[in-house]
Amino acid sequence: MHSEDAGMELPASGHDPVLMNEVLEALAPAEGKTIVDCTLGRAGHAVEIARRLGRTGRLIGLDVDPRNLEFARERLVGKPETGNKKPEGDQFKDKETDKNVCPTLEGKEMLPQCEVRLFHANFAELGDVLGELGISGVDGVLADLGISTNQLFDPHYGLSFGRDAPLDMRIDSRIRRSAADLVNSLPEEELANVLYQLAQERYSRRIARKIAEERRISPITTTERLAEIVRSAIGHTKEKIDQATRTFLALRMAVNQEMENTEALLKNAPRFLNKGGRFAVISFQSMEDRLAKQAFRVAEQTGAVRLLTKRPVGPGDEEVLRNPRSRSAKLRVVEKV
């Protein structure tokens, strides 16, 4: 998620899953299959996938954010104290009855019945997760890249220039360096490169110079101060988006090492697919989409996979109207041969 359009209607989960029908069609979840959701988020996709896996299927879920993971766990297996599941450290397994409902959401949606195994893990560690479960092949892998809407607007993460918060941006609590650490310590030229390379910020040098000036006065520690610095460096433009948008995007990607992790996932995931298994990737930015396009092309050339989407699949008019945040989503899918 991408630009900051606060005020739009959101489901009770705090995140509206994009391209749902297209994802379900691509992964074709069915009784007895094993599907991995590498980016569980608020479990929007995962719940719909899990429901289609029946009693004998298995959903494996990963997220780097312990808060989203906990929310997803309640939607998929219920609260621990309700006695609905059997916690095993970071993992949860459940085969419960029709009476189980998710306590988190209004309307109490039904819990899926398949086996559910959840991990606080980076999708770059997918091989380790499957190794721990003793699984050599799965039938589908979903990666819905980026962050969820609730994360964007929760001041806890310091991701938004729309409200003041500590300048943090770490989605995974295991990450050492926050956005404030980068902004206050990277050499000016390196900072400019981060802004240009990760978000194609054309005013990168001007912004980096202004940041370097300002941090000599006092460390930059809040989202509001950084946004003001960026706006004053750029000045007025005709663009519809806030001038701080690209700087915040680039810093988030740098803090969370999004490109490196995505590259690792794209390279490794096809290896874990059973024959006929599918890998679906949703991206929201040109850099990510380019990575997926290139990785899939290389995998196809080696004969490992078949490309199912010659062109990326985007949302239809109805979805964009209902959920404008979906407008930049692109889905690419490969199938293991």
Ligand X SMILES: C[S@@+](CC[C@H](N)C(=O)[O-])C[C@H]1O[C@@H](n2cnc3c(N)ncnc32)[C@H](O)[C@@H]1O
Q: Is 309 in the site for ligand X (CB under 6 A)?
A: no
With beta carbons less than 8 A apart as the criterion, state whether 171 and 64 touch. Answer: yes
Nearer to ligand X, 45 or 231 (CB): 45
Residue 93: alpha-carbon gap to chain centroid: 23
Alpha-carbon distance values, 236 to 11, 195, 240 (Å): 35, 19, 11
Which amino acid type is present at position 31? Answer: E
DSSP category for residue 305: E
Residue 62 vs 234, nearer CB to ligand X? 62
Question: From the list 100, 113, 122, 328, which residue makes contact with ligand X (rule: CB under 6 A)?
Answer: 122
Q: At what angle do helices 188-199 and 204-217 cross, to 10 degrees?
A: 140
Query: CB under 6 A: which stretch of 62-70, 82-90, 200-208, 300-308 binds ligand X?
Result: 62-70
Q: Which stretch binds ligand X (CB under 6 A): 60-68, 75-83, 100-108, 186-194?
A: 60-68
According to the binding rule CB under 6 A, does residue 244 interact with ligand X? no
Shortest CB 27 distance to ligand X, Å: 12
| 112 contributes a contact to ligand X by CB under 6 A | no
Selected from 34, 68, 160, 283, the binder of ligand X by CB under 6 A is 68
Name the residue among 112, 118, 148 with its Cα closest to residue 37: 118
Asked if 158 touches ligand X (CB under 6 A), the answer is no
User: Could you say which of 92, 119, 123, 279 contacts ligand X (CB under 6 A)?
Assistant: 123
Nearer to ligand X, 100 or 261 (CB): 261
Report the distance separating Cα 185 and Cα 164, nearest Å: 21
**According to the binding rule CB under 6 A, does residue 22 interact with ligand X?**
no
- Please, what is the minimum distance in Å from the beta carbon of residue 22 to ligand X? 13
Which has the closest alpha carbon to 261: 88, 133, 124? 124
Asked if 148 is part of the footprint of ligand X (rule: CB under 6 A), the reply reads: yes
Long-range contacts of 216-220 (CB under 8 A, 24+ apart): 219/180, 219/184, 220/167, 220/180, 220/183, 220/184
Binder among 49, 77, 147, 192 for ligand X (CB under 6 A): 147
Write the CB contacts of 20 (distance below 8 Å, at least 6 apart in sequence).
Answer: 44, 45, 48
Beta carbon nearer to ligand X, 184 or 326: 326
Euclidean distance between the first and the last CA atom of the chain, given in angstroms as a whole number: 32
Question: Quick check: 140 binds ligand X (CB under 6 A)?
Answer: no
Would strands 34-37 and 138-144 be described as parallel, antiparallel, or unpaired? Answer: parallel
CB atoms within 10 A of CB 98: 8
130 binds ligand X (CB under 6 A): no
**Binding residue (CB under 6 A) for ligand X from 26, 29, 42, 287:** 42
Asked if residue 261 binds ligand X (CB under 6 A), the reply is yes
Q: Provide, rounded to whole angstroms, the least separation between the CB of residue 39 and ligand X.
A: 3
Contact residue for ligand X among 22, 63, 94, 288 (CB under 6 A) = 63
- Nearest distance from residue 63's CB to ligand X, in Å? 4
| Calpha distance 14→148 (Å, rounded) | 8
Q: Distance between CA 104 and CA 304 in Å, rounded?
A: 41
Q: Is 203 in the site for ligand X (CB under 6 A)?
A: no
Alpha carbon separation from 304 to 135, 262, 275, 279, 297 (Å, rounded)? 19, 19, 10, 12, 10
Residue numbers at the binding site for ligand X (CB under 6 A): 15, 17, 38-39, 41-45, 62-65, 68, 122-123, 144, 146-148, 171, 261
